[in-house]
Amino acid sequence: MTGLVWMLLANAGVLLGARRLTTRFATGHSATDAALFFLFRLMLISAAVLAAGALHVLHPWVLGLAGGVAAGALIAAGAHREFLPWWKVANVPAVYLLAALAARLLLHAWFLSPFLGDVTSYHLPKVAEWVVHGTIFTDLGPDRRSWFPAGLELVDTWWVVFLRHDVLIEMAGIEFLALGAASTVALASRLGLAPSAALLAGAVYATVPAMMIQSVFAINDAAVAALVVMAAALIVGKVHPALILATAGVGLGVKPTFAFAAPGMIVLWLWLRKAGSAEPPSPRPSRAVWAVAALALLIGSVWYGRNAVLFGNPLYPAGTAALQFGEKSLLHRVGPSPENLAKNLSDLDGRILDRRRGAGGMLEYIAGWGTGAFAFGLIGLLWAVRTSTNWRRIAACFLLSLASVLTLAENDIWFLRFVLFFPAILAVAAAALAEEVRPLRLPLVLVTLLTLVGTFFTEDMPREAFLRSARLDWRRRSFGPDVGVPDVPYSRVGCYGDVSSMAYLLYGPDFSRDVVYLRPKSSEELIESMERRNLPALYAMTMYDRNGWGGLLARCVASGRLRRLGPGSPWYVLDPK
């Protein structure tokens, strides 16, 4: 209960702070300002978690107290009067679509808990460690991909630290989705769509299956996509470059794939600068806007700086042998490759119809763009680029960004999650088409609604699994047993793993279990570490056996000191001498 109070206070402080920053650096374009509000909120959250974590005070009461003090000061300064009253929200179909989307997302947020392999293996173990130890200087877990930038994890931490429970962890992705939707509305509005059509564009983009699903599956590709769309909206709106840099800072901090899409955005910026504009220029904010950009760049670059210092490679473990597993290697080669482009384009062609699989968190073998963006969007884009120079420019730059990502991304069964910014321009084109050709408006709304309802259950979270999760007591809700991590009656365990060990599931949804990561060189050292650190049980799991991982475990079992809890179980218990 105390945690809930701290959470409310901290969120009040951040909401009011973001609103005040939006007022201070307003562009005069309401949709763009709405997107900026979400960006500032995410920046403040990230800065708060990062600062508290760096100072070893990542505790609910510290963040809650700071938020409460900030909220008090901002209310005294009148920031609470700057919010738009809810009754002034437009009464158009897109608003109802967005309301239905919000209901779906909240249901998912409440009833789901993290289960995807990547999420539980390298995104969230560090969140668990940060929350348990109150600092960001912790063991990041056995999967070396934990060293990748962690911008989304900062916001994940915000949503778990107060309650010390992950029941609301999906709210982090939802915040980024809101930013993506607002940015799409802003982009549509800048392209001349009427407010109701611009809102429909936002709704179509936010209901792209891949965006909706990723947002509640605690994975960061939708978040990056939202920030690329935000950058595009700011560039098209010709706002102050510091605000574009701020977006880039936050984007780079979430995932380096933000930079993959940069070429198209840079060309767009140069092109529009040269072309001039019929629109009145945005009001020029004070020089303090550069401080906002500097803060965002600091938040985003901290991970790269850390890796450069520790490993001599800002992109570690990408481009190193750290992710090499015998013949299989991940991210070994960094940089553009025509082979990547050819393979990825061919696979985009094969996956764009989403035939092979249903929508899922990792987008295996599918694009996940949905019928609204795909069918209405492609035809709408075709029509729009024939009739408008502005559209031609923007579509060309989105295509350049798409090609850039496809040239840089390794070809695998999931790479289309890196181009989720592209459906945004399709969503805007779809709404523009429906605005121009009236008979298409109702079908677009219906198809969007069908997508919204029809993808509630996903390929990796079908109805049975979802309902089983929903029936559990929320305090103990975890997908551990469903994905091969059965619960054990120990409050303190060791973890001996490597890539894809799903270590996050060991902590429990309330982070009540102590997890100690072990990296033994020999079977004797493993047993000795468990005895010395008072660990009665060991969780051992990896996707690829390397460095004698399996042999070491086998020797422990053969020595009679470790006993496996059933055939195929990842759990071992320490037997007395």
Partner 1 sequence: MQGESSGNIGVMTLAWRLRESLAGVALVGVRLHFRPDPFDWIVALGVCWALLPLGSHPHYRNAVLCAGVGALSALHLQAQILHMLAVSNLLP
Q: Which residues bind partner 1 (CB under 8 A)?
A: 191-192, 349, 352-355, 357-359, 370-371, 374-376, 378-379, 382-384, 386-391, 432-433, 436-437, 439-440, 443, 447, 450-451, 454-459, 461-464
Task: Rank residues 362 and 515 by Cβ distance to partner 1 and give the closer one.
Answer: 362
Task: Rank residues 69 and 103 by Cβ distance to partner 1 and give the closer one.
Answer: 103
Which tokens belong to 150? 């962690």
Task: State how far the alpha carbon of 81 is from the alpha carbons of 20, 42, 73, 466, in Å.
Answer: 10, 21, 13, 41
Q: Provide, rounded to whole angstroms, the least separation between the CB of residue 461 and partner 1.
A: 8
Task: Rank residues 295 and 378 by Cβ distance to partner 1 and give the closer one.
Answer: 378
Q: Provide, rounded to whole angstroms, the least separation between the CB of residue 204 and partner 1.
A: 13
- Give the count of alpha carbons within 13 A of 524, CB side only: 0
Task: Rank residues 376 and 507 by Cβ distance to partner 1 and give the closer one.
Answer: 376
Task: Rank residues 457 and 490 by Cβ distance to partner 1 and give the closer one.
Answer: 457
Q: Provide, rounded to whole angstroms, the least separation between the CB of residue 165 and partner 1.
A: 28
Q: Provide, rounded to whole angstroms, the least separation between the CB of residue 422 and partner 1.
A: 15
Contact present, 565 and 571 (Cβ < 8 Å): yes
Q: Provide, rounded to whole angstroms, the least separation between the CB of residue 274 and partner 1.
A: 18
Which tokens belong to 453? 């309802």
Q: Phi/psi at 167 (nearest 5 deg)?
A: -60, -30
Question: What residue has token string 């560090």?
Answer: 126
Pairing of strands 571-574, 324-325: unpaired
Task: Rank residues 224 and 433 by Cβ distance to partner 1 and give the closer one.
Answer: 433
C-beta neighbour count of 332 within 10 angstroms: 15
Task: Rank residues 16 and 430 by Cβ distance to partner 1 and give the closer one.
Answer: 430
Task: Rank residues 314 and 454 by Cβ distance to partner 1 and give the closer one.
Answer: 454
Pairing of strands 514-517, 492-497: parallel
CA–centroid distance for 467 within its chain? 25
Which tokens belong to 521? 């060189």
DSSP for 69-113, written as a single string: HHHHHHHHTTGGGGSPPGGGS--SHHHHHHHHHHHHHHHHHHH--
Q: Provide, rounded to whole angstroms, the least separation between the CB of residue 383 and partner 1.
A: 6
Task: Rank residues 206 and 254 by Cβ distance to partner 1 and give the closer one.
Answer: 206
What SS3 state is found at 35?
Answer: helix
Which of 421, 374, 447, 569 has its CA nearest to residue 93? 447
What SS3 state is found at 493?
Answer: strand
Q: Provide, rounded to whole angstroms, the least separation between the CB of residue 194 and partner 1.
A: 12
Q: Provide, rounded to whole angstroms, the least separation between the CB of residue 24 and partner 1.
A: 30
At 116, which helix (H) or strand (E)?
none
Q: Provide, rounded to whole angstroms, the least separation between the CB of residue 282 and partner 1.
A: 18
